[in-house]
Structure 1
Amino acid sequence: MTNQVQVSNEVLTLDMCREKLRDGWELHVVCAEDPVPAQNTVRGSWYLVAYEPDSGRWGVVVTQRDLYRERRRAQESGEKLDPSDYAYREIKTTTGLFNAQTELGITATVSPGAKGVVMVARL
C-alpha cells in the first residue's frame, strides 16, 4: 500500500521507535486531519515520525503487522523492502495518541490541533 505522504528513510514499530528516542531522536506528531469532538473523545488523524536532528534521518511508525507482512512479501519475491510500500500507522483519537506516546516513554504528550500542524515530543 503506497502512502501519498512523503517517503521515509526507515519504517519503525513502536518498539523500534522507542529505541530511536532513547538514542536521542525526536518524535514528531503530525496532524493529518482536523480534530473534532466526538462524545467523550476527540477524533482526527495523526501519525508519528521519529527524526534524528543531527543526520536528518527519519522513519515513520507503522504497525507491527504491516512490517512483518511486508518483510515476508519482500523475502518471498526476492525484492528489497521499500518504505514507500508502508502505510503510516494512523491514530484516530486523542486517547490513542496519548497511549502511543506514553508507550514510547513520553511523559509530556503532545496533540497537534489542526491539519498540517507538527509538534515535537521528547523523552
Structure 2
Amino acid sequence: MTNQVQVSNEVLTLEMCRERLLQGWELHVVCAEDPVPAQNTVRGSWYLVAVQPETGRFGVVVTQRDLYRERRRAEQSGTPLDPSDYAYKEIKTTTGLFNAQADLGITATVIPGSKGVTMVAQLPPKDE
C-alpha cells in the first residue's frame, strides 16, 4: 500500500481488524503527523489499515461510534454505506498506538517516526 490516502474497500472496528489479522492480513501503521515528545509520551497522529497482501484489498480502522453513526445515517436515508464517508480512527500518542496494537494481538509493535512513513505489523506465528 502506498503512503497516499486512498478510499478503503471497507471499514473496520478494532474487533473486525483483529479478525482480518487472524485470516492472514497485515496491519499497516501509517504516520500522518510528525511525532513530538510531550511530557511522558510522544504525540503525533497515526492510523491503522488492515491489508490483504495477496489481493491488495484493505480496510481502514474507524471508531465503533463512527461506524454505528454511518450505518444509522445510511438506513435513515436509504443510501448504501460508502467507506469514503468514514473518518479514520486517529491515534494521538505512542501509548495509544502501543495499546491498539496490543489489543489486536501484536506483540512486536511498530511506531513509524515521521509523517508519510508506513510500517507493517503482523501477528506472531501460531505455535504448531
TM-score normalised according to structure 1 size: 0.96
- Paired position in structure 2 for 1:5: 5
Structure 2: gaps of 5 or more residues: 124-128
Q: Deviations over 1:7-58 (max 9, x none)?
A: 1000000000000000000000000000000000000000000000111100
| Matched ranges for 1:1-123 at <5 A | 5-123=5-123
Q: Post-superposition, which runs of at least 4 consecutive aligned residues in structure 1 deviate over 3 A?
A: none
Which amino acid in 2 is paired with 1:16? M
Aligned length: 120
Q: SS at 1:33's partner residue?
A: strand
Q: What value does the CA root-mean-square deviation take over the aligned residues?
A: 1.0
- Counting aligned pairs with the same residue, the percent is 83
Write the distance in 2 (CA, Å) between the matches of 1:89 and 1:68: 14
Q: SS at 2:107's partner residue?
A: coil
TM-score normalised according to structure 2 size: 0.92
Structure 1: gaps of 5 or more residues: none
